[in-house]
Structure 1
Amino acid sequence: MTTVFTGRIRPFAPSTDIEVEAMAVDDATIVAVGSAEEIRRTYPDAKMVALDGWVMPGLIEPHGHPGFAAILLSDLVVDLRPVVVPRAEDVVAALRTAVAEADGEPVFANGWDSLLQRGLPDPDIRFLDDLAGRVPLVVIHNSGHSVYFNTAAALAAGIDRTTPDPVGASFGRDAEGELTGVALEAAAVEMVVAPMLATAQEHLPRILPAHLRDLAARGITTVSDLSWNRGLDPLIDALRAKGAMPVRLRWYEMSRPGGMPSARGGGDAFFRQTGVKTWSDGSPWVGNIATSFPYLDTPATRALGLEPHHIGRANYTSDELSAIAESYAAAGWQLACHAHGDRAIDATLDVYAQIIARHGLTDHRFRLEHCGAMTPAQFERAASLGFTVSLFVDHITYWGEVLVDDLFGPEHGGAWADAGAAFAAGHRVTFHNDGVGHPRRALPQHGSRRDPHHPQRVSHARRLTGHQGSGAPRAHGERGLAAVQRARGWCPRPRPLRGLHRGGSRPGHGVLRRTRRDAGEVHVRGRCASGLTRCHRPSSSTDSV
Structure 2
Amino acid sequence: TLFAMTATADHVFYNGNVLPFCNERSNEKYSFIAVGQDKIIALGSGDDFKAYVVEGETKLHDLEGCTVLPGFIESHNHFNAVANQWGWLDLGITQCNTIPEVLSKIKNAAEELAQQPIQDDKPLPWIKCVGFDDTLISECRDLVKEEIDEVSGNFPVWIWHPSLHRAYVNSKALEIAGIDEKVENPEGGGIFVRNSEGKLTGQMEEMAAYQKVYVHLNKTLDMSTKRADMWETGKYFASKGITTVHDLFVGPMLYNLYRNAFAAHTADNPFPIRVTVYTPPHWKDRPETTGFDPLFLRFGGTKLFADGSIQCHTACCLEPYHDVPDAKGNLLFSEEQLGGVVENLHKIGRQIAVHCNGDGAIEAFIAAVIRANELHPRDDHRHRIEHCQMVTPEQLKKMKQAGICASFFVGHVFFWGDRHKNIFLGPERSQRISPLNSAVENGIKFGLHSDCPVTPVNPLHSVWIAATRKTKTNDVLGSDEKITVEQALRAYTIDAAYLNFEDHLKGSLEVGKLADLVVLSKDPLSVPIDEIPTIEIKQTIVGGRRIC
Q: Same fold (TM over 0.5)?
A: yes
**Counterpart Cα distance in 1 of 2:48 and 2:90:** 54
Structure 1 residue 343 corresponds to structure 2 residue 360: yes
In structure 2, the partner of 1:195 is 216
Name which of structure 1's ranges 227-236 and 446-455 shifts more when overlaid on structure 2.
Answer: 446-455
Residues 1:48 and 1:406: Cα distance change in structure 2 (over 3 Å): closer
Name which of structure 1's ranges 444-453 and 226-235 shifts more when overlaid on structure 2.
Answer: 444-453
In structure 2, the partner of 1:486 is 514
**TM-fit CA distance, 1:38:** 8.1
**TM-fit CA distance, 1:275:** 0.7
**TM-fit CA distance, 1:170:** 2.0
**Counterpart Cα distance in 2 of 1:227 and 1:142:** 17
Name which of structure 1's ranges 237-246 and 167-176 shifts more when overlaid on structure 2.
Answer: 167-176
Residues 1:71 and 1:22: Cα distance change in structure 2 (over 3 Å): same
Aligned mate of 1:457, from 442, 463, 482:
482
Which amino acid in structure 1 is aligned with residue 242 of structure 2? I
**Counterpart Cα distance in 1 of 2:476 and 2:52:** 47
In structure 2, the partner of 1:542 is none
- Contact 1:171 1:179 (8 Å CA) reproduced: no
Aligned mate of 2:297, from 254, 266, 271:
271
How do 1:88-99 residues align onto structure 2 when only pairs under 5 Å count? 88-99=99-110
**TM-fit CA distance, 1:79:** 1.1
Residues 1:414 and 1:128: Cα distance change in structure 2 (over 3 Å): same
Structure 1 residue 529 corresponds to structure 2 residue 544: yes
**Counterpart Cα distance in 2 of 1:92 and 1:498:** 45
**Counterpart Cα distance in 1 of 2:152 and 2:521:** 42
In structure 2, the partner of 1:365 is 382
Which amino acid in structure 2 is aligned with residue 486 of structure 1? L
**Counterpart Cα distance in 2 of 1:372 and 1:50:** 42
- Contact 2:109 2:127 (8 Å CA) reproduced: yes
Residues 174-209 of structure 1 show CA distances to partners (whole Å, capped at 9, x for unaligned) of: 488753312221233222222332333243112111
In structure 1, the partner of 2:119 is none
How do 1:323-472 residues align onto structure 2 when only pairs under 5 Å count? 323-443=340-460, 444=462, 445-446=465-466, 447=469, 448-451=471-474, 453-454=476-477, 455=479, 456-472=481-497
TM-score (structure 1 length as normaliser) = 0.84
Q: Which runs of 5+ in 2 are unaligned?
A: 1-5, 115-123
**TM-fit CA distance, 1:173:** 5.2
How do 1:234-245 residues align onto structure 2 when only pairs under 5 Å count? 234-241=259-266, 243-245=269-271
- Contact 2:130 2:160 (8 Å CA) reproduced: yes
Residues 488-518 of structure 1 show CA distances to partners (whole Å, capped at 9, x for unaligned) of: x6969xx979999954433567433358xxx
**TM-fit CA distance, 1:134:** 3.0
Which amino acid in structure 1 is aligned with residue 215 of structure 2? A
How do 1:120-135 residues align onto structure 2 when only pairs under 5 Å count? 120-135=140-155
Name which of structure 1's ranges 15-24 and 394-403 shifts more when overlaid on structure 2.
Answer: 15-24
Name which of structure 1's ranges 44-53 and 408-417 shifts more when overlaid on structure 2.
Answer: 44-53
What percentage of aligned pairs have identical amino acids? 24
**Counterpart Cα distance in 2 of 1:272 and 1:390:** 19
In structure 1, the partner of 2:35 is 25
Residues 1:44 and 1:231: Cα distance change in structure 2 (over 3 Å): closer
**Counterpart Cα distance in 2 of 1:531 and 1:426:** 35
- Contact 1:125 1:148 (8 Å CA) reproduced: yes
- Contact 2:304 2:354 (8 Å CA) reproduced: yes
Q: RMSD value over aligned CA atoms?
A: 3.2
In structure 2, the partner of 1:212 is 234
Which amino acid in structure 2 is aligned with residue 19 of structure 1? K
**Counterpart Cα distance in 1 of 2:295 and 2:454:** 29
How do 1:143-292 residues align onto structure 2 when only pairs under 5 Å count? 143-163=163-183, 165-172=185-192, 174=194, 179-200=200-221, 201-228=223-250, 229-241=254-266, 243-256=269-282, 260=284, 262-265=286-289, 268-292=294-318
**Counterpart Cα distance in 1 of 2:50 and 2:275:** 34
In structure 1, the partner of 2:120 is none
TM-score (structure 2 length as normaliser) = 0.83
In structure 1, the partner of 2:117 is none
| Total equivalences in the alignment | 507
In structure 1, the partner of 2:536 is 511
Name which of structure 1's ranges 462-471 and 433-442 shifts more when overlaid on structure 2.
Answer: 433-442
